[in-house]
Amino acid sequence: MFVDELIMLEIVVNNDAGDFDLQIENVSLFDEGLYECDVEPEDKNETIAKSRYLLQIKALPTEMVLVNATWDDTITGIENESLVIECRVKSGKPPENLTLKINEVTVNTGGHGSIAYDLIPDRTNHNNQLLCEAESPLTPVPLSKTVKIDIKYMPKVMINHDEEVAVLEGANKTLCCDIDSNANISFIFWSKEGKGITSNINSSCLFFKYLDRQDRGNYTCFAGNEIGNGSFETSLTVYYHSSVHLEYTNFPIKERTRAVQCKGDGVPNNITYFRLEHLSDFNEHIRYLDVSSDGIAKLPSTIESKRYQDTGFYLYNASNGVSDEKGNMFQYDQAYLVSAAANKKIQYGEIGKPIDIIVKVYSTSEIKCLHLNAIGSLNIKDILKKSVPMRMHFHGVSIKANGIEVTFRLVKLQSFQRLNITVCNDFAIKSFILEVIKREHNNQMISTDSRLVVENRNISMVSGEQHLESNNDSNTSEHTIATSDDEINASEHLDDGYERPYTTLVAHIYAEEEHGYSSTKTSSINYNSTTLQNATCRPCFAFTEKDKQKTFIFTDDGQENTK
């Protein structure tokens, strides 16, 4: 190298020391190389002294770049897809050491010139800071560059509802989607039990102004963007007060084991049953019965002749601790339990005089026919009916009920005899015997238009649901006669598989006597008339049937009416 050819080079002479130094201005990598210094001696015969110098330039790393970074220093990736991160530098001398860090956590290190890292990102990498560092021994401060990681991911959906918190019926309720999405949401969709709720398309919230038990169920919120779809399901449980209903049956009089089942419906379903109240038709209290934890009340065992007294309304009281919209925590239900019985008496008359045969009947099943039969002929002018109050004793309690008074109006009494009165419905026939005997002087009678009206005060024909005793009638005079314990069977079995009632005779024991009864007047039911003229099977009275498919007719011996 010739010094005079390089204007950037200058030789600096120090005569005192005998030094000749080479000074290079603005040194760069281009100045690297082998330098030689030749010294010629004054004596030409001496050898030229030569010295060689190797110039090497030390340099810091420069020109660092992160591949695929945008102008705003962002690297974009997609959730669960490979993202290759690469950092490049112009190496220095000596070579640098490269390091990649994500949120200050080293993910790769080593090498010079370039370094790479293969990241499988998830949504947690979104907005992470990526740092590339080049460390050189020439300086304590490394060369570095930082960019932001932008990860695109499908919506993550949540619903702001705590399933453990009770929601009461009637309250206002809002279900809202909380959506975490990096990419604009393209749709929001709600469904209940797999069926879309079209009224809330693209709405992130469902609003319930008055929550109903029908609103309970599983709700799902769907949301989607360019990456994919997300959803979340929650269960909405609506707490509502208990509702109760009774399951009961019509029990034959011979049935020993009888019970009433109360079933409750409510959320939560921890229903507590309280004691059962037995009521009359007129809401008169008769007794209380204990109820098991599963809602069953067993009727106390009683003798057959008294089982009709189980007839009546049964009122349940139950609660699940949730009040209704009126603030009531206890709910009630009632049902009619059915048993039945009847008694029979004697009536008085005078030969040749008109007479009214009066029978008081109680029934909750539709009566299909009435028959009045006798030995010999009967001349019945009219069959009348009217509603009358009747009293009875159930389990030692006097109660009131509605009955029907049926009057067979005979033109005149032909003879003292026994009359067979029969009542039938769709399921059974019930008969009993009534005896007409000579009037004694102490019997009270009322004569109207030459007709003798004598009421048999203690006859109650009970069909289906209750046994009742008859009241005093202001237009009649009545006498109480004790009932007989003798019984005959009028109709024991029908085709429905249930045992049918028996019939009880009164006053005297006639069970072993045989008589040929000729029917002179029969009656079926006609609900449009209260006065019935000569016809076969004419109507007498009508009742609203409580349970037509479960109605039975029974008799009772030993029930006596008192005024």
| Residue that terminates a domain, selected from 124, 153, 182 | 153
Residue 344 pLDDT grade (very low, low, confident, very high; cuts 50, 70, 90) = very low
Percentage of the chain lying above the pLDDT 90 cut: 22
pLDDT at 89: 95
74 and 50, same domain (yes or no)? no
491 and 514, same domain (yes or no)? yes
Q: Concatenated DSSP letters for 330-381?
A: -EEEEEEEB----B--EEEE-BTS-EEEEEEEEESS---EEEEEESS---EE
Residue 289 pLDDT grade (very low, low, confident, very high; cuts 50, 70, 90) = confident
pLDDT over threshold 90, residue 54: no
| Residue that terminates a domain, selected from 153, 175, 193 | 153
Between CA 371 and CA 355 the distance in angstroms is 17
Average pLDDT in the 257-279 region?
A: 70
Average pLDDT in the 200-228 region?
A: 86
Structure tokens given for 78: 């997609």
Structure tokens given for 456: 């048999």
Give whole-number Cα distances, 100 to 66, 119, 344, in Å: 10, 12, 110
355 and 416, same domain (yes or no)? yes
Q: Is 469 helix (H, G, I), strand (E, B) or coil?
A: strand
170 and 283, same domain (yes or no)? no
Structure tokens given for 383: 């069959």
Closest CA to 543 of 363, 384, 385, 383: 363
Q: Cβ neighbours of residue 16 under 8 Å, at least 6 residues apart? A: none
374 and 488, same domain (yes or no)? yes
Is the peptide bond prior to 61 cis by the omega test (within 30 degrees of 0)? no
pLDDT at 221: 93
pLDDT over threshold 50, residue 38: yes
Between CA 338 and CA 365 the distance in angstroms is 11
pLDDT over threshold 80, residue 72: yes
Closest CA to 433 of 542, 369, 513, 350: 513
> Which has more pLDDT, 242 or 374?
374
Q: Report angle CA 364, 367, 368 to the nearest 5 degrees.
A: 155
Between CA 208 and CA 250 the distance in angstroms is 44
Q: Cβ neighbours of residue 528 under 8 Å, at least 6 residues apart? A: 539
Flag whether 558 is in a domain.
no
> Which has more pLDDT, 324 or 81?
81
449 and 360, same domain (yes or no)? yes
Counting the structural domains of the chain, the total is 5
247 and 116, same domain (yes or no)? no
Average pLDDT in the 64-73 region?
A: 94
| Residue that terminates a domain, selected from 337, 366, 388 | 337
The string of pLDDT tens digits covering residues 389-445 is: 877 777 888 888 777 788 888 888 888 888 888 776 555 566 778 888 887 655 444
- Please give the model's pTM, rounded to 2 decimal places: 0.45
Average pLDDT in the 223-240 region?
A: 89
Q: Concatenated DSSP letters for 26-52?
A: S--GGG-EEEEEEE--SSTTSPPEEEE
Enter the DSSP assignment of 305.
G
> Which has more pLDDT, 536 or 84?
84
Between CA 200 and CA 221 the distance in angstroms is 10
**Chain centroid offset of residue 482 CA:** 56
Flag whether 555 is in a domain.
no
C-beta separation of 338 from 419 below 8 A: no
pLDDT at 20: 76
355 and 446, same domain (yes or no)? yes
The string of pLDDT tens digits covering residues 77-120 is: 999 999 999 999 999 888 999 999 999 999 999 888 999 999 99
The string of pLDDT tens digits covering residues 480-521 is: 222 333 333 333 333 333 333 322 222 222 223 333 333 334
Percentage of the chain lying above the pLDDT 70 cut: 61
- The pLDDT mean for the chain works out to 70
Give whole-number Cα distances, 369 to 393, 403, 452, 535, in Å: 28, 17, 26, 12
pLDDT over threshold 50, residue 163: yes
pLDDT at 391: 79
Strand partners for 182: 153
The string of pLDDT tens digits covering residues 122-150 is: 999 999 999 999 999 999 999 999 999 99
pLDDT over threshold 50, residue 473: no
Flag whether 89 is in a domain.
yes
Between CA 504 and CA 510 the distance in angstroms is 10
Average pLDDT in the 218-242 region?
A: 87
Averaging pLDDT over each range in 56-65, 310-319, 371-380, 525-534, which range is the top one?
56-65
Flag whether 556 is in a domain.
no
Average pLDDT in the 18-23 region?
A: 76
491 and 407, same domain (yes or no)? yes
φ, ψ at 337 (rounded to 5°): -100, 140
Flag whether 256 is in a domain.
yes
φ, ψ at 539 (rounded to 5°): -70, 150
Q: Which domain holds residue 20?
A: 3-55
C-beta separation of 160 from 175 below 8 A: yes
Flag whether 406 is in a domain.
yes
Between CA 483 and CA 326 the distance in angstroms is 52
pLDDT at 270: 63
The CATH code of the domain that includes 201 is 2.60.40.10
317 and 431, same domain (yes or no)? no
pLDDT at 429: 66
Between CA 301 and CA 295 the distance in angstroms is 19
C-beta separation of 560 from 408 below 8 A: no
Average pLDDT in the 315-320 region?
A: 68
480 and 405, same domain (yes or no)? yes
Flag whether 466 is in a domain.
yes
427 and 532, same domain (yes or no)? yes
Flag whether 561 is in a domain.
no
Enter the DSSP assignment of 183.
S
C-beta separation of 403 from 390 below 8 A: yes
The string of pLDDT tens digits covering residues 143-160 is: 999 999 999 999 999 998
- With b for 16 or more beta-carbon neighbours within 10 A and e for fewer, the 158-185 pattern comes to ebebeeeeebbbeeebebebebebbbeb
Average pLDDT in the 9-21 region?
A: 69
pLDDT at 513: 32
